[in-house]
Structure 1
């Protein structure tokens, strides 16, 4: 007599629990046939106010206590790295713990891409014990998932790529400029509206954020040409400086000119900013 493996029963219980939760909020859930399971169990199309959106994710669902870890839960990546990290549709992992009857989630694509930009290749997706998915948190989960999916489109796709590379999260309203110098080092100029400073992110400085201002940009020749840079320095130093510097970082002339252009292009965003 053919028997159903206990592991299969648990996996199906996990899928059923997740599907019931999402469908209770009018989201569309399509189960992937077990014969075509390449690391994802569900397609989920999100709805908003009763209307189906074009925001879609894939979900890998696990059930049981064997996925527990000290920090929460873990899902092994195994042979799915390329499809989870580089696919056109982001993948989320969910674990169902039968002892607590709780679902836990994590954005697998985000974790793998973040690891790649840090020079690592994660072998597991980490699901913190705090990342509970239930009726009280599902709306927040959907908002975050849809925001991540939105990052795959248009200008947001560029911001998402740069943000993953630098380990930060840009808002669509931020003014973000990107440049690659002659040494293939990558620089990102990041200006939030209403802030009196911008942020420099530099690959050669391990992407550590550095606050910068026009007054802190010391550049040879700027004083003689009447450019409004370097105002934080004494006039003598502005007139005679042989090197370009900003916030303690030495720049070559192309980098300094690029930053000067960035400051000029975003001057409007710093108007009426409150300092302090």
Structure 2
């Protein structure tokens, strides 16, 4: 009789656990046939109030002890790096380890984008032990991922990942690309007196900026950051168009 490898049983158990969790909460899960599995096991579309949403992502599932580390798990990137980082759907990695508590997840797309910003090529995706996925937190997980996917559709999610920051739903985020195809982002939070500049040449490290810091002569500058003329005019437009969002937030009358 042909022998069924133990690794197959473990892999199937892992996929089934992830699928069962999502489907218990009414989300749409499409399993990718093993012959077409090139780094993703599941395609997931989230459902809200019994209505299919426009929010979808892919999941790579791993099971067993081979991914364990002392502090969590690591999933090898292999030759999937560019697809997980730049594909049309964000990719999550989920580990099934019942001895350590069940399912654990990581955003592979976000980790790989951040690594690229830091000029690194990671060999594995880090799955932290506190990123647990279960029935108790599935709704919060879905809400967070749907916010993430909204920013993806807006075209600014990549820059949040590169900088390792989180854009709130009410934040104003204005991307710009100069003539050398170098991207940068103007980021304004509600009620804050300053904005934040995320810049390709600054390794995406967030830089607080204010309009009074902007200079055009003798060379365009914002603080110590050298700009070209187009970038300076773009920043001026950003400041002028978001002035109302920097005004102090009125506190409700306690009476």
- Scaled to the shorter chain, the TM-score interval is 0.7 to 0.9
Change (3 A) 1:252 1:125: closer
Q: Judge conservation of contact 1:166–1:201 (CA < 8 Å) in 2.
A: yes
Matched, 1:268 2:235: no
1: CA distance, partners of 2:39 / 2:182: 35
8 Å CA contact retained: 2:118, 2:203: no
Secondary structure, counterpart of 1:99 in structure 2: helix
Residues 1:74 and 2:50 aligned together: no
Q: Do the aligned residues in 2 keep the contact of 1:63 with 1:98 (CA within 8 Å)? A: no
Counterpart position of 1:170: 167
Structure 2, gaps ≥5 residues long: 251-255
Question: Cα deviation per residue 1:214-270 (whole Å; 9 max; x = unaligned)?
Answer: 3344554xxxxxxxxxxxxxxxxxxxxx56654444556555444333222222222
Structure 2: distance between partners of 1:21 and 1:140: 14
- Among residues 202, 206, 217, which one is paired with 1:205 in the alignment? 202
CA-CA distance at 1:160 after TM superposition: 1.3
CA distance in 1: counterparts of 2:54 and 2:221, whole angstroms:
47
Match of 1:234 in 2: none
**Partner residue, 1:136:** 136
**What are the equivalent positions in structure 2 for 1:223-238 lying under 5 Å apart?**
none
Which residue matches 1:193? 190
Say whether the 8 Å CA contact 2:110–2:162 is kept in structure 1: no
Deviation string, structure 1 residues 46-88 (Cα, Å, up to 9, x no partner):
2112333232222111111111012301111112223222221
Structure 1 residue runs of 5 or longer lacking an equivalent are 221-241
Calculate the aligned-residue CA RMSD, in Å: 2.6
Offset of residue 212 of structure 1? 2.2
Determine the structure 1 residue equivalent to 2:27.
Answer: 27
**Shift in Å at residue 273 of structure 1?**
5.5
Change (3 A) 1:47 1:259: closer
* TM-score for the superposition, normalised by structure 2: 0.84
Using a 3 Å threshold, how does the CA distance of structure 1 residues 200 and 60 change in structure 2: closer, same or farther?
A: closer
Number of corresponding residues: 250
C-alpha distance 78-171 of structure 1, shift in aligned 2 (>3 A) = same
- Structure 1 pair 21/253, CA: closer, same or farther in 2 (3 Å)? closer
SS of equivalent residue, structure 1 residue 17: helix
How far apart in 1 are the matches of 2:248 and 2:88? 41
Whose Rg is larger?
1
Q: Structure 2 vs 1, CA of residues 64 and 189 (structure 1 numbering), >3 Å: closer, same or farther?
A: same
Q: TM-score under structure 1 normalisation?
A: 0.79
C-alpha displacement of 1:207: 2.9
Q: CA deviation at 1:180?
A: 4.6
